[in-house]
């Protein structure tokens, strides 16, 4: 399969390589996903830059992604075959992330992706959306409360605005430009500053 990887840390232009490597096989409790999109998160860049020590001699970057299950491993229901999915933490604690044509991953790190959701949108759900959800709901329901979202047009902030609004909160978002204000309002913010 084609993949992107690095074997030392540093600036992207200096350390990223593209080439062919063996295609992974789904192990016990895993599925193999033919990736259609890969999401890049700040932590992925920190690892590649060297801010987080390399755990493996070769790293395929990126933790989030989306695609179609094309193989199931032992102990996994064949009903997963052909399913559109989004995934998260693909590269966390492993050498192989989503900057490749395929990834084999535990079924606990995947979720169905509706047919009407584009793969690129699915690849953006993982870490940013889950972070927003955790920040909003860790202490219980927020219906009827006022929620302040700083950076309401950023990856996490954009999801936080949407989730808070859907949960029945009054949402105030901060942004740094008029264009970002439009994004926050489009996501559902009641007030943007």
pLDDT mean by block of 10 residues, the chain; 193 residues = 97 97 97 97 91 91 97 97 96 91 97 96 92 96 97 95 98 97 97 96
**Domain ranges in the chain with CATH number 3.40.50.720:** 126-192
CA distance 111 to 15: 32
Is the backbone of residue 95 left (phi > 0), alpha (psi -120 to 50) or beta? alpha
What lies within 8 Å, CB to CB, of 8 at 6+ separation is 15, 54
pLDDT for res 136: 97
Considering the entire predicted model, what is its pTM?
Answer: 0.85
The number of residues in the chain equals: 193
pLDDT at 135: 96
CATH no., domain 126-192: 3.40.50.720
pLDDT value of position 54: 86
Nearest C-alpha neighbor of 83 from the set 50, 44, 122: 122
Predicted confidence at residue 92, as pLDDT, reads 82
Homologous superfamily in CATH for domain 2-123: Medium-chain alcohol dehydrogenases, catalytic domain (3.90.180.10)
Which residues of the chain form CATH 3.90.180.10? 2-123
Asked if 34 and 111 touch (Cβ cutoff 8 Å), the reply is: no
């Amino acid at each position: 399969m084609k993949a992107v990887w690095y074997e030392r840390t540093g600036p992207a232009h200096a350390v990223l390589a593209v080439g062919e490597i063996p295609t992974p096989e789904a192990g016990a409790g895993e599925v193999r996903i033919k990736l259609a999109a890969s999401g890049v998160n700040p932590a992925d860049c920190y690892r590649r830059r060297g801010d987080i020590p390399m755990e493996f001699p070769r790293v395929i970057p990126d933790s989030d992604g989306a695609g179609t299950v094309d193989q199931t491993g032992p102990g996994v229901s064949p009903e997963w075959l052909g399913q559109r999915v989004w995934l998260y933490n693909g590269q966390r604690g492993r050498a192989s992330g989503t900057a490749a044509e395929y990834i084999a991953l535990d079924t606990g790190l995947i979720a169905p992706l509706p047919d009407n959701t584009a793969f690129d949108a699915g690849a953006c759900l993982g870490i940013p959306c889950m972070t927003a959800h955790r920040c909003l709901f860790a202490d219980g329901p927020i219906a009827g409360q006022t929620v302040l979202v700083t950076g309401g047009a950023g990856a996490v902030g954009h999801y936080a605005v949407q989730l808070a609004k859907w949960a029945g909160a009054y949402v105030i978002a901060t942004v740094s430009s008029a264009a970002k204000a439009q994004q926050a309002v489009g996501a559902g913010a009641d007030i943007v500053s």
